[in-house]
Structure 1
Amino acid sequence: MRLSVASCGKNKTKHKIMGKIHQVKVFGIDRELKVIDLCDSEEMMKKMTVRDLKKKVVERFPGPTDDLQMIFANHRLDDENELLYKYGIQHLSVIQLVVRLNGGLPA
């Protein structure tokens, strides 16, 4: 299968001749931007869960993941079983990674 590749800084955006690779842009803790390939069809994109996204993010941003949270459109992606499209996430949406910090005063 032939791929047409367009350069986008350090990252590459891939488009298939007959379709496209569905991707999201992820800003890491250190503000590093990475483009993450999710799937190659609209049907698969509609079935992607937060858990699926987190697995792919962890592959590209190695390190401790226990306190890692993902934010999209000011909403934490907490429910790992929720479908991405229910949050409004689509091709080239931007996700922000943050670290949950323990602290604060006891209640």
Structure 2
Amino acid sequence: MNESHLNKAQGESAAVSGTDEAASPKRTGVNALERGLRLLTVVNTPGGLTLSESARRAGLNKTTALRLFRSLERMAFVQRNRDRYSPGPAVAGLHVESAAATSQVLHHHGEGQRLSALTV
């Protein structure tokens, strides 16, 4: 997920100016999860981001961002190097698993097309 996806997701909610967004009656889901994923998305930049910059870009206050970062860090989804946060090893693990699953689907799709061509 890149920053354009983040902007789209933020566009679906109320405008924010440095504080957590107001809950909208149209929204469903788990706000904490959405906020954590927004943080994970914004820190996916070369060199990572500081707490303040991450919170600002995600539309969260710093206290909320820090609590979410602590949870994400415990699960290795983010890592902190000095004062900067960046994606952690768990993100890479998800990427590898996703790529392997996609590769299998493409392989089986290709086999299906090959068999289909043989029977026509």
TM-score normalized with structure 2 length: 0.27
* More relative contact order, 1 or 2 (CA 8 Å, 6+ apart): 1
**Which is higher, the Rg of structure 1 or of structure 2?**
2
User: Which protein has the bigger helix share?
Assistant: 2
TM-score normalized with structure 1 length: 0.29
User: Which protein has the bigger strand share?
Assistant: 1
